[in-house]
Structure 1
Amino acid sequence: MYKRTVLIVDDKEINRKILARMLQDKYGLLFAENGKVALECMHEHADVIAAVLLDVMMPVMNGYEVLEEMRQDEVLSKIPVIATSQRDCDEDELKILEMGAQDFIAKPYKAELIIRRLNNIIKLREKAAMVNKAQKDELTGLYNKQFFLHKVQELLEENSHQKYDLLCVGIERFKLVNDTFGVYYGDKVLKYMAAMMKDIAREVGICGRFGADNFYAVLPYKEYTNESFEPWIRRVENFPIEMDIKIHCGIYAIEDASIPVEAMCDRAQLAADKNRGKYDEYFCVYDDSLRKKLLHEQFIIGNMKPALEEHQFQVYYQPKYDLNTGRVAGAEALVRWIHPEMGMISPGDFIPLFETNGFISQLDEYVWECACRDIRSWRDKGYPPIAISVNVSRADIYNPKLIDNLLALIEKYDIPMKYLHLEITESAYTENPQQIIRVVGRLRELGFLIEMDDFGSGYSSLNMLAEMPVDVLKLDMGFIQTETRKASGKGILSFVISLAKWLNLAVVAEGVEQKEQIDVLRSMDCNYAQGYYYSKPLEKSAFEELIRVSEVAEMICTSRTTLDYTINEKNNEALQDGRVMMIVDDIEVNRAALAATFEKEYVIKEFENGKDAWLYLQENASKVDIILLDLLMPVMDGFQLLEKIRTNHQTRQTPVIVMSQMDETMEQRALKMGADDFVSKPYNALVIKKRVSNVVASYELRKIKHGLVSIHLGKSRREEK
C-alpha cells in the first residue's frame, strides 16, 4: 500500500525516534535534525512530502526561520506544517499559525492526536489539489471558470452561424446570507441557484459558477422583457429561508465571436452590476453606454502613469473635528485627479480601476509622500501639529516592502509617527484577517496609529473587531446618514460607539452633513466627525490657511494614551452602570488577585463555592455581565454550577470563563459544557483581561448576529467623504 511521506524535524534524536514509532506504520518517514537540513530535504523531496512535523526550538535554524523560508518559496509554501513545541503557550501558538503553520501540537506527543491531525491536513491538501484540477465546481456541479470559458469558445467555433447571449446572474447581498444563516444555508442557496441555471441553460447546456455567487449561462439569442425573467425571479424568491433572496441579471449579446470569452463574461457582469439593487427592472443588457464606460476606463488606464509623473494627482485634505470642543483635530488625505484637458476626473471613476489593476499601490505611495512632505512643511512654518490620515489599500498590505517604505518616509521628512495615521478599509480586514493582523500589528508596534475605515459598510468585521490591531474606528458615511435618520437606528449607532469605547477605540464619524447628526453623535459620546457639515475636502493651500488661523486639538486615541477619554473614566462609567463580575473560587487569595485586576472595571461579587454563587445568580441574573468560575471547589464545583447556568433560561446567555490548573481533559469538558473560554492557573493579568474583554465583546456582537441589531449598508468609496 502506498504510504504518504512525512518529514520529522527535531534536534533531539529521542523525539525523532518517538515520532517514528508512532507514525511508521501509516507513513513513510524522512528526518532532519535542524531547520537547515529540513529545507534541503524539502527542496530535494518536495514532490513526495505530504506534511512536515516541525519542532519550533532548534539550533542552526529554528522553526520560525524555516516557516519564513517556506512562505517565500512557491513550492514549499504548499506543503502543510504542524509545529511542535515543549511550551504550551498561546502566544507561541498564535505566532506559529500566523507564519503559515496549519496546526500546533504541544509536547509530550500523543500518538492518536498527531495521527489524526496529520491525516486531516494531508487529506485537506489532496482534496484541494483535486478540486483545482476538476472541470466542475465541487459545490454546485456547474462548470468552473476555466472550463466554462473553454466550452463557450468551442460552442462559438462550432456554431458560427448561430447567435447566442451570455447571461450573468448574481445574488444580492449573498454575504449577508452566510453571516446571518451560516455557510450551510449559504451553500443551499448556491445549489438552488445552480439548479435554476441548469434549467435556464438547458437548450445549450453550458453554465458555470465563478467565485462565490456569480453564475453564467449561454442562451440562444432573443429579445428579452421583464416577463422573460419573471419565472426565475419568482423561483428565487420562493427559496425556503427567512430572508428575501434577490438576484441581478446582465446580458451580453454575442455579436463578435473573436472577442475573448472572458471579456464577454466581463461585459455581462458589467450589465449585471448595473442591474444590482433595481428590483423593478429584472435585467440589464450591455449597451453603448456601458461601452462608453469601458472606453473611459481604457482612457484612465492609458493615462494613469503619465498623470502620476506629471503630478496631475493632487492631495486634498478633509478636516476632522473634535465633537466636544469644535476644534480641528486632524484631517484625511484624499486624492484628486486634475487632468489638463478633461478637468477633474471623479475618484469614483479611477480608484476602483486602480484597485483592480494594482496601480493603487503607486498612487498610495505618492499620496503618503505628499502628506509627509506637507506635515514637515507645516511644522517648519510653526503651525500647530496635526495628524493626517492616509489610505492603505488591500494591495499595499501584500507588499513586502510596505513597512520599510513607510519608515523611510518618516525618516526622510523627520516627522513623529503619531502624525501619520494609517487608514485600512473594513473590507480588507475581512478578506485575509491573519495577514492583516500580522502586518498591521507590526506597524502598530512600531508606533503608527491605525484607523479602520468605512466601518458599517459591511458586516463580517463585527465578529473580529475585538481582535483587530486598531486605534480608531471610522464609521461609514452611509451608516451615519442612514442610522441617524431613524429612531430604531440610533440604538444600533449607540451600540457600535459603546462597543468601540469598550475596546478603547476612538470613534470618527464620516460623511456628517447636518447639525441633527452632530447632536445625535455628540449625545452618544462619539469623539470626532468629518463631513460637509464642517468642511469639504480642501486644496492644500486652503487647508494650510485653516490650520494657520485655527486652534488645533490633538487627536487622542484611547488605546495609546490616558488623556481625553481615559481608561479610568471608562472604568468609572462601568461602575456607575453597575457592571457586575462574579468571581467564584474557594481560594481567597485567588479571588483577591482577580478582584484587584478588575475592580476598576466591574462591581465585584465574590463567592467561595458554587452553591452560594447559584443562589445569588438566580436573583440577579440580569445584572451579571461575566462570571469567572473555578472548576475545583467544595459544596458545588465549577462543573455543577456551569451545568446549572447553561440549562437555565435566565442564565444560559451569561458569559462564563472557567479557571483551573492546566488540564486538557478538564478544559475540553468545560468547553463542551458551554464555557466561553479557559484560563489556566497561575493567572496572568494581561492574558485574563484580554480574555474577558474578548468574551464580553463577543457576546455583545452575538446580539447583533441573532437579530437584535442588523447592520447592512451599501459600499461607500473613500472619495465620497
Structure 2
Amino acid sequence: MSESLLIKYDAMEQKFSYPKNMQNLFNAKFDDRPLWEILRDNDTASVEDCKLIEWACSRAHESKDFANNLQICLTTKIGPNWYLVSAVRPEGSYLITLNFIDINEDVNRLNHFVHLSESDVLTNLYSKKGLFSKIEHVMTAQMLAKEKTVYSLVYFDITRFRSLSDFLGRSGIEILLVNIASAVKALVGDKGFAARIESDRFVFFYPGTKEEIQALAEKLVEAFDKFDLSFHINCNFGAYICDEENVSPQIMLDRAIVAQNAIKGSYSNTINFYDEKLRQKMITEQEITGCMDEALEKGQFVPFFQPQYDHSTGNIVGAETLVRWIHPVKGLISPGVFIPIFESNGFITELDLYIFEQTCRFIRESIDQGRHIIPISTNFSRYDIFMPDFIQQLETRRQKYNVDSSMIRIEITESAVVGGSTYTAEIVKKLHDCGYTVEMDDFGSGYSSLNVLKDIEFDIIKLDMKFMSTDTKSERSVTILKSIVNMAKWLNMPVIAEGVEMVEQANFLESIGCTTIQGYLYSKPLSEQNFTALIQTKDSARKVLK
C-alpha cells in the first residue's frame, strides 16, 4: 500500500513544496518545474491526469475554499497507484494545499468489476460502454485544461463478414477477430485507444490530422493483408473529426457510421470523413423518412404523365406515369431526392403500388368521361417484383377499378434483372398471363445484356438516350443504336426512345426505324389536369418537329 501525500503550492511564487517521502515513492526529480510538468515528463501520470491537476490548482487559485475530488493514477516505483486529489486555498492566502489520498485498494476492487463491463472479453479491447466512458474522460480533461487536441473517432467493419464466418467457423472467425484487434491496438498505441462494439464492428479514437487518420487506416489495411489467410479482408472506414463541443460519444459513433455507409463495399475508397454534406444528407433522409407515411396518407404523392409521341405523325401513342411529391411546406421535392431513400428503407414498394392504383383510377375516369384512351406505363423495380405477392397486389388494384390489363403497361427496370433473371422471367410470364404488356426500362443504362432479351420475354424495349447523350454523329454510338433497333425488329419488339431532348436525336432515331419518342422535345411530365386536357379528344396530335 502506498502513502497519502500533502503537497503545498504557492500560487503567487508558483512554487511547489513536497513531503520528504515524495522522492522515495516516484522515479521523478521534483525540481522547480510545475508538478503537472514533472509528472507528465517522467510518465508518472497520463497527459489527461496532468491537465486535471493543473486545472485543480488554477480553480483553487481563483476560488477560495475550492475543493474537488479528482481520481488520479500515478505510477510509483512499485506500480500504478490511485489517489483522490483535492485542492484547497484558505481565504486571504495564496497557499494551496493539494491532498493526495491513497484509494488504490478501493479503486482496484471497483476497476475489476468495471473492467468486466467495459472490456470486450474476446479481444480485450474496450467494449462499447468502455469506449464511451473513455471518450468522455478524455474530452472532459481537455475541456477542463482548456487545451484542444483534435481527435477522430474511426469506425470500420468487415465486408461479407457473415460469409467469412460460415467459411472459417466459430473458432476460425474468433482468431481472425483477435488478430484484427491486435493489429488495431498495435497501430493506435498509447496515443489512442480501440474498441470492439459488437461482432465485426471496431472503433478507434485517435489524435491526428485528417491525413494522419487516413494514413493510419491504410496501414491497418496493409496489416490485414499480411494475415496468413487464403482470402483478402476488405473493409471501409468512416471517420468523424471531433472538432465540435458537447457532442456525445454516441453521436460521434453515429456520424462515423454514416460516413462509412456512404462508401460501404467500395474497393477504391478506403476511408470517408463525415462532413457538412453528409450531415445535410442525413438530416434530409430523417426528415423524408419521418413524413413519408403522412405524405402518402394525405395524397401529397401525385401522378404526373409524360406523353409518348410517334415522331413520324405527331400522334400521341402512349404515356408513362411518374411520381411527384408536392409537400405543403417544402413545395416540389425532386424524385432524385426521395426515391433513393425509399429504395433504401423499403417504402418504394408501397409508393409504386400507390402510383399504379392512381393510374388505374385515371384510366377508369378517362373511360367513363369519354376521353381518348392510350396505354399508360407504370414503373416497378427489383424491390417490387421480388415481393412474394407482387402479381396479386397489382390485380387487386386493377380489378378494383375494372380496368382492362391491356390498357396498362408494366415497366421493369433493367437493373431488376441482374442476379435474378430466372425469377424475373417467371414474373413476366405471370404478367403476360394476366394480359399485361411488359416493357424493359432503361435499356442501355449500364446493365444491359443480350441474355436478358433471350431469357425473358419482354414485349417492348425502352431505350435510354443517356446511352447516346447529345452525340448523334459518333460512329460507335450510331452503329450500336442501329444494331439495337434492328435486333428489336428481328425479335418483333417495338422500341420507345426515352429522354429525347433534341430534334436531331428524334430525326436520327426515325431514320433507323424508331419513331416512338418520349422526352422534353415533345413534352415534359404533365400534371393530371394538363394531361387530361391533352387527351380529352382523339385530336391530340402535335405538330411533327423536324
Q: What residue number does 2:384 align with?
A: 396
Q: For residues 30-72 of structure 1, give each alpha carbon's deviation from its aligned partner in whole angstroms, at most 9, with x where no partner exists.
A: xxxxxxxxxxxxxxxxxxxxxxxxxxxxxxxxxxxxxxxxxxx
Q: For residues 402-457 of structure 1, give each alpha carbon's deviation from its aligned partner in whole angstroms, at most 9, with x where no partner exists.
A: 21222223322222211111111111110422222222221122211111111222
Question: Aligned runs of 1:488-527 on 2, under 5 Å?
Answer: 488-527=476-515
Aligned residue type for 1:446:
C
Q: Secondary structure at the match of 2:307?
A: strand
RMSD: 4.3
Question: Which of 254, 266, 269 is equivalent to 2:261?
Answer: 269
Q: For residues 373-422 of structure 1, give each alpha carbon's deviation from its aligned partner in whole angstroms, at most 9, with x where no partner exists.
A: 11111122222220110112322213333212222233222222111111
Q: Which has the larger radius of gyration?
A: 2
Of 248-257 and 544-553, more deviation after overlay is shown by: 248-257
Q: Secondary structure at the match of 1:526?
A: coil
Partners of 1:378 and 1:370 lie apart in 2 by 12
**Is the Cα contact below 8 Å between 2:126 and 2:195 reproduced in 1?**
no
Q: What residue number does 1:455 align with?
A: 443
Question: Aligned runs of 1:520-539 on 2, under 5 Å?
Answer: 520-539=508-527
Q: Secondary structure at the match of 2:249?
A: coil
Residues 1:381 and 1:354: Cα distance change in structure 2 (over 3 Å): same
Q: What residue number does 1:224 align with?
A: 210
Aligned residue type for 1:426:
E
Question: Which of 391, 403, 410 is equivalent to 2:398?
Answer: 410
Q: For residues 1-54 of structure 1, give each alpha carbon's deviation from its aligned partner in whole angstroms, at most 9, with x where no partner exists.
A: xxxxxxxxxxxxxxxxxxxxxxxxxxxxxxxxxxxxxxxxxxxxxxxxxxxxxx
Superposed displacement of residue 231, structure 1: 12
Partners of 2:381 and 2:415 lie apart in 1 by 10
Residues 1:225 and 1:262: Cα distance change in structure 2 (over 3 Å): closer
Q: What residue number does 2:293 align with?
A: 305
**Is the Cα contact below 8 Å between 1:512 and 1:531 reproduced in 2?**
yes
> 2:422 matched to 1:438?
no
Unaligned runs of 5+ in 2: 1-121, 139-150, 160-181, 223-234, 542-546
Partners of 2:487 and 2:445 lie apart in 1 by 17
Partners of 1:528 and 1:463 lie apart in 2 by 24
> 2:312 matched to 1:324?
yes
Over the matched positions of the two proteins, sequence identity in percent amounts to: 38
Aligned residue type for 1:350:
F
Larger relative contact order, structure 1 or 2 (CA cutoff 8 Å, min sep 6): 2
Q: For residues 441-477 of structure 1, give each alpha carbon's deviation from its aligned partner in whole angstroms, at most 9, with x where no partner exists.
A: 2112221111111122223544433111311111224
Superposed displacement of residue 483, structure 1: 5.6
Residues 1:369 and 1:223: Cα distance change in structure 2 (over 3 Å): same
Q: What residue number does 1:429 align with?
A: 417
**Is the Cα contact below 8 Å between 2:256 and 2:274 reproduced in 1?**
no
**Is the Cα contact below 8 Å between 1:372 and 1:409 reproduced in 2?**
yes
Residues 1:168 and 1:475: Cα distance change in structure 2 (over 3 Å): farther
Q: Secondary structure at the match of 2:526?
A: coil
Question: Aligned runs of 1:140-539 on 2, under 5 Å?
Answer: 153=128, 156=131, 160=135, 163-166=151-154, 203-204=187-188, 220-224=206-210, 251-253=239-241, 256-259=248-251, 264-270=256-262, 272=263, 285-459=273-447, 461-481=449-469, 484=472, 486-539=474-527
Partners of 1:539 and 1:343 lie apart in 2 by 15
Q: Secondary structure at the match of 1:203?
A: helix
Residues 1:431 and 1:484: Cα distance change in structure 2 (over 3 Å): farther
Q: Secondary structure at the match of 2:412?
A: strand
Aligned residue type for 2:131:
L
Superposed displacement of residue 331, structure 1: 0.6
Partners of 2:215 and 2:443 lie apart in 1 by 36
Aligned residue type for 1:492:
I
Residues 1:393 and 1:228: Cα distance change in structure 2 (over 3 Å): closer
Aligned residue type for 1:268:
Q
Q: What residue number does 2:109 align with?
A: none
Q: For residues 136-180 of structure 1, give each alpha carbon's deviation from its aligned partner in whole angstroms, at most 9, with x where no partner exists.
A: xxxxxxxxxxx99x9984883585367444377999xxxxxxxxx
Q: For residues 332-356 of structure 1, give each alpha carbon's deviation from its aligned partner in whole angstroms, at most 9, with x where no partner exists.
A: 1011111111111111111111111
Partners of 1:414 and 1:464 lie apart in 2 by 32
Question: Aligned runs of 1:629-640 on 2, under 5 Å?
Answer: none
Residues 1:230 and 1:522: Cα distance change in structure 2 (over 3 Å): farther
Superposed displacement of residue 262, structure 1: 7.1
Residues 1:405 and 1:486: Cα distance change in structure 2 (over 3 Å): same
**Is the Cα contact below 8 Å between 1:510 and 1:531 reproduced in 2?**
yes
What number of residue pairs does the alignment pair up?
A: 363
Partners of 2:381 and 2:186 lie apart in 1 by 42
Superposed displacement of residue 266, structure 1: 3.0
Q: Secondary structure at the match of 1:548?
A: coil
Aligned residue type for 2:187:
E
Q: For residues 656-705 of structure 1, give each alpha carbon's deviation from its aligned partner in whole angstroms, at most 9, with x where no partner exists.
A: xxxxxxxxxxxxxxxxxxxxxxxxxxxxxxxxxxxxxxxxxxxxxxxxxx
Q: Secondary structure at the match of 2:250?
A: coil
**Is the Cα contact below 8 Å between 1:388 and 1:420 reproduced in 2?**
yes
Aligned residue type for 1:203:
L
**Is the Cα contact below 8 Å between 2:238 and 2:256 reproduced in 1?**
no
Partners of 1:338 and 1:295 lie apart in 2 by 19
Aligned residue type for 2:259:
R
Residues 1:167 and 1:398: Cα distance change in structure 2 (over 3 Å): same
Question: Aligned runs of 1:634-673 on 2, under 5 Å?
Answer: none
Partners of 1:431 and 1:383 lie apart in 2 by 42
Unaligned runs of 5+ in 1: 1-146, 172-197, 209-214, 237-246, 554-721
Q: What residue number does 1:30 align with?
A: none
Superposed displacement of residue 201, structure 1: 9.9
Residues 1:385 and 1:289: Cα distance change in structure 2 (over 3 Å): same
Q: For residues 177-210 of structure 1, give each alpha carbon's deviation from its aligned partner in whole angstroms, at most 9, with x where no partner exists.
A: xxxxxxxxxxxxxxxxxxxxx99997259999xx
Q: For residues 463-496 of structure 1, give each alpha carbon's deviation from its aligned partner in whole angstroms, at most 9, with x where no partner exists.
A: 4331113111112242132663633222222222
Aligned residue type for 1:360:
I
Residues 1:166 and 1:413: Cα distance change in structure 2 (over 3 Å): same
Superposed displacement of residue 548, structure 1: 2.2
Partners of 1:539 and 1:217 lie apart in 2 by 50
Q: Secondary structure at the match of 2:418?
A: helix
Aligned residue type for 2:327:
H
Partners of 1:155 and 1:524 lie apart in 2 by 68
- Give the TM-score, by structure 1 length: 0.44
**Is the Cα contact below 8 Å between 1:152 and 1:261 reproduced in 2?**
no
- Give the TM-score, by structure 2 length: 0.57
**Is the Cα contact below 8 Å between 1:480 and 1:509 reproduced in 2?**
no
Aligned residue type for 2:353:
E
Residues 1:253 and 1:536: Cα distance change in structure 2 (over 3 Å): same
